[in-house]
Structure 1
Amino acid sequence: MSRPRIVIVGAGFAGYRTARTLERLARNKADITLLNPTDYFLYLPLLPQVAAGILEPRRVTVSLTGTLRHTRLVLGEADEIDLDARTVRYADPEGGVGALTYDRLVLAAGSVNKLLPIPGVAEHAHGFRGLPEALYLRDHVTRQVELAAGSEDPKACRSRCTFVVVGAGYTGTEVAAQGQLFTDELVRGQPRWDGVRPRWMLLDIAERVMPEMDERLSATADRVLRQRGVDVRMGTSVKEATPTGVLLSDGEFVDTRTLVWCVGVRPDPLAESLGLPMERGRLLVEPTLQVPGRPEVFACGDAAAVPDLTKPGSYTPMTAQHAWRQGKVAALNVAASLGRGEPKPYRHSDLGFVVDLGGVKAAANPLGIPLSGPVAGAVTRGYHLAAMPGNRVRVAADWLLDAVLPRQGVQLGLVRSWSVPLDTASPELAKAPYAPAKPEADGHGSASGSTGTAASGRTGEAASAGDGAAGKKTPEPTGAARGRGTPERTDTSHTPAPGAEGDS
């Protein structure tokens, strides 16, 4: 008798934890396959430190093959799930297609950038959900400071050294806080910048910074940002984005070449394509994380609307903390469905949050105890070291080096503007200048003849990051991605017009 086949779609917080737990519970009892477009798990909370030049990119990635020894990794982006035939169709990085059959399916597809119908945003803003976006932002910010230093035009100089972050949640707050320190470090000691500081702006329509968190945490973060020189504007957002600036909702036009979009996330479109009951884009599941009417299908993380048993009538928020713990429960219940153990509902109490504001500054409330200053900084970094499934020594070493040595303000030019469009379902993958041709499906590798409930219109989409990064093939770029056919060119997404000075 063949062993049961377990397929996990996505290797973010939920999917990675599911695979790691299943290896312990079902070793030699089931075949575990993990479908993911990259060969690493991304520790997303430390991504702002990559953009700020504190951590090297590989520090926040954990090798899947190196840490999941009993799981088969399939590199690919899921673009169709046939629930009736129990198959997952995917495209590999070189354009080939294939299909995985399963007895148990765990959908941990995660989330992607949240878009709003604001003119110009899709063309001129960049998100912050994947490693390519963080690398692009670090290069872009460095380039703007260097171009400004060589410019004789004061207006152009101010424009290049104004950085606008939209969204004062967890990610946006950290990006602005770390960014201000980064640019201050870049200009320190240079004659051109004597007495002049780059300007960072943080915008949000909410009444306070990090409105979803405790008010004391919010107040601490707000105070640190303002003391550092960040222009914090609550009750304000972007009305229109242009190549040379942004029009704010209060009528002010801000000259800038940098618009970082951190307004939040939306569930990966793969979940909605299944045609099953949804809750605001998330797949409705039972407390055991099983899909109603489909006991062989489990969903967790940002792609799933999991009932919050501590708050009846509501669902757990889309956070890494919940995704990580849901992954463990999903693994336990998958094993239980195969006769190993008893199923259990997902129940989790809030353990608090930590926000790294750069330097020795942080805000934290572990177990509800509000902390700030160096103590909060130590708790925050200690938490991240404990939570990371790998690379702890390397991360700690980078923190130590950053404390005693100046940062290396160089741009590598590895990620171009058109390769990280905001409107993408695959923020963890940089867009290639030319997509590989997709071969005709054959009888062995595809599900082209399937008749399941998944929407086949996903052809051309790509994967998400969030807690899943499950993947769909990347759509043809629009707006910011229009330069994809000319990879030798420098970044042009913020260029005002042909021949004008822009992001190059």
Structure 2
Amino acid sequence: MSRPRIVIVGAGFAGLTTARRLCRLARGAAEIVLVNPTDYFLYVPLLPEVATGILEPRRVALPLTGTLPGVRLVLGEADAIDLDRHRVGWTDPEGNHRALGYDRLVLAVGSVNKLLPIPGVVEHAHGFRGMPEALYLRDHITRQIELADATDDGRERAARCTFVVVGAGYTGTEVAAHGQLFTDALARRHPRLDGGERPRWLLLDLAPRVLPELHPRMSQTASRVLARRGVEVLTGTSVAEATKDGVRLTDDRFVPTRSLIWCVGARPDPLVADLGLATEKGRLIVDEYLNVPGHPEVFACGDAAAVPDPARPGEIAPMTAQHAVRQGRAAAHNIAASHGHGTRRPYTHRDLGFVVDLGGTQAAANPFKVPLSGLAAGAVTRGYHLLAMPGNRVRVAVDWLFDALLPRQGVQLGLVRAHAVPLEHTAPEVPAPPPAGEAGEGNSGEDSPP
């Protein structure tokens, strides 16, 4: 008798965890196939450190073939699910369309940048959800400081030294905190900027405080660090319009800038909407066992799934890595149970606390609801990340040590162009192809500003 085939779509926190746990449970009794557009798992929480020159990109990109021995990797972007015929269609990196069947399907497709109907944002902002966006931002920040040093126009210099981050949640707060340190270090190396006006970072959010989803103590710690560092936090404020020369805020102020970084949140991968199944807040509805109603062979977890939150009856679990990891484990156990190995388990979650890396030695953390700040929070935050990473721990720790002892490198490699990271991109894991009529690989022309 042939082995049952379990297909997992997506290799984020939920998909990776499902695959790892199924390998241990199946012990070769099932064929496990992972469909993903990249050959690595991305440890997203450390992307701000990639974008600001602390970590090298491969430190947070763990190879799937090495991390998941025994799992067959299908390199491609899933773009069609035939629920009636039990088939998954995907497009490989060379544009070929392929398909394979499944006995069990796990949808862990994750999320993409959340868009809002604000004039000019899609054209002039860049998100921060994938490796290409982090690499682009690293180059872009460096380039703006270098161009600011080169110009004699004071207004242009100020605009190039101004960086606007929209969204004061986890990602936006960390990007602004790390970004201010990075640009300060870059400016010190340019004689015409050193000693003059500091690079300016603005962090905007319509909420009344930064980190609005976390405990007020963590918000206070982050606000204190940001203020001390010089980041301008504008609460109750957002972008009303974006242009190539700057942004107009909702309080009608105009801020000249060449840098608009969009961190307002996430929305489920568009593949979810294409399924034609019931959704809540754009996320695929599942029961407490992570099963899709009416399709006992289909499971969903992570950002794409509206998983009932046992700690908040009537609510769905938030889009966090902690929930995604635990949902992946529950999905694996319930898939095994569907083949007669063990019994089904409803999804449960125990809050272990949260950590927010604010750069340098600063962080905000509340492990097991114990509020921490300063050096203690920084140690806990880095320890948590080392424990949570599936690999590369020594390499990450060494990079942290080098950053503490050596000057940070600030060079732009030009590997990711602006057209490769559009805000509306439905696959932030991979660079978008160049627009029709423009040069493709090898294009060394000047990058257009966001």
- In the superposition, the TM-score normalised over structure 2's length comes to 0.98
Contact 2:18 2:329 in 1 (8 A): yes
Contact 2:205 2:237 in 1 (8 A): yes
- Post-superposition Cα deviations, 1:332-388, rounded to whole Å, max 9, x if no partner, equal 111110111111000102111000000000000000000000000000000000000
Residue type of the alignment partner of 1:34: L
Aligned to 1:367: 368
Contact 2:259 2:449 in 1 (8 A): no
Secondary structure, aligned partner of 1:191 = coil
Residue type of the alignment partner of 1:142: T
Aligned to 2:380: 379
Aligned to 1:60: 60
Aligned to 2:236: 235
Shift of 1:189: 4.8
- Post-superposition Cα deviations, 1:453-479, rounded to whole Å, max 9, x if no partner, equal xxxxxxxxxxxxxxxxxxxxxxxx6xx
Residue type of the alignment partner of 1:363: A
Q: 2:229 aligned with 1:273, yes or no? A: no
Structure 1 gaps of 5+ residues are: 434-476, 495-504
Aligned to 2:245: 244
Shift of 1:484: 6.3
Secondary structure, aligned partner of 1:428 = coil
Aligned to 1:488: 444
CA distance in 1, matches of 2:62, 2:217: 33
> 1:161-176 counterparts in 2 under 5 A?
161-176=161-176
Aligned to 2:149: 149
CA distance in 2, matches of 1:129, 1:357: 18
Aligned to 2:179: 179
**Aligned-pair Cα RMSD in Å:** 1.2
Structure 1 window deviating more from structure 2 (34-43 vs 483-492): it is: 483-492
Secondary structure, aligned partner of 2:322 = helix
Structure number with higher relative contact order (C-alpha < 8 Å, ≥ 6 residues apart): 1
Secondary structure, aligned partner of 2:296 = strand
Aligned to 2:325: 324
Percent of aligned pairs with the same amino acid? 69
CA distance in 1, matches of 2:438, 2:140: 16
Q: 2:41 aligned with 1:14, yes or no? A: no
Aligned to 2:95: 95
Structure 1 window deviating more from structure 2 (131-140 vs 190-199): it is: 190-199
Aligned to 2:132: 132
Aligned to 1:260: 261
Residue type of the alignment partner of 1:488: S
Aligned to 1:225: 226
Structure 2 gaps of 5+ residues are: none
Structure 1 pair 58/330, CA: closer, same or farther in 2 (3 Å)? Answer: same
Secondary structure, aligned partner of 1:192 = coil
Shift of 1:197: 0.9
> 1:107-118 counterparts in 2 under 5 A?
107-118=107-118
Aligned to 1:2: 2
Contact 1:419 1:484 in 2 (8 A): no
CA distance in 2, matches of 1:485, 1:428: 18
CA distance in 2, matches of 1:182, 1:191: 16
Shift of 1:195: 3.5
Structure 1 pair 324/484, CA: closer, same or farther in 2 (3 Å)? Answer: farther
CA distance in 2, matches of 1:482, 1:431: 14
Structure 1 pair 391/311, CA: closer, same or farther in 2 (3 Å)? Answer: same
Contact 1:418 1:482 in 2 (8 A): no
Aligned to 1:449: none
CA distance in 1, matches of 2:391, 2:189: 37
- Post-superposition Cα deviations, 1:289-325, rounded to whole Å, max 9, x if no partner, equal 0011100000000000001112111110011110011
- Post-superposition Cα deviations, 1:165-202, rounded to whole Å, max 9, x if no partner, equal 00000000000000000001111254212242100000
Aligned to 1:71: 71
Shift of 1:93: 0.3
Secondary structure, aligned partner of 2:308 = coil
CA distance in 2, matches of 1:199, 1:482: 36
Shift of 1:490: 2.0
Residue type of the alignment partner of 1:139: D
Residue type of the alignment partner of 1:47: L
Residue type of the alignment partner of 1:402: D
Aligned to 1:349: 350
Shift of 1:147: 0.6
Aligned to 2:303: 302
Aligned to 1:498: none
Secondary structure, aligned partner of 2:175 = helix
- In the superposition, the TM-score normalised over structure 1's length comes to 0.88
Secondary structure, aligned partner of 2:424 = coil
CA distance in 1, matches of 2:27, 2:16: 16
- Post-superposition Cα deviations, 1:220-268, rounded to whole Å, max 9, x if no partner, equal 0011001000011000000000001000000100000000000000011
Residue type of the alignment partner of 1:392: R
Residue type of the alignment partner of 1:178: H
CA distance in 2, matches of 1:338, 1:224: 52
Aligned to 1:315: 316
Aligned to 2:29: 29
Q: 2:45 aligned with 1:38, yes or no? A: no
> 1:445-464 counterparts in 2 under 5 A?
none
Contact 2:7 2:35 in 1 (8 A): yes
Contact 1:432 1:484 in 2 (8 A): no
> 1:189-204 counterparts in 2 under 5 A?
189-193=189-193, 194-204=195-205
Shift of 1:485: 5.7
Shift of 1:482: 9.0
Contact 1:127 1:260 in 2 (8 A): yes
Aligned to 2:432: 431
Residue type of the alignment partner of 2:209: R
Structure 1 pair 189/89, CA: closer, same or farther in 2 (3 Å)? Answer: closer
Secondary structure, aligned partner of 2:192 = helix
- Give the number of equivalent residue pairs: 448
Contact 2:81 2:87 in 1 (8 A): yes
Shift of 1:272: 1.6
- Post-superposition Cα deviations, 1:40-95, rounded to whole Å, max 9, x if no partner, equal 00000000000010000000011100111100000011111000100001110001
Shift of 1:491: 1.3
Shift of 1:489: 2.0
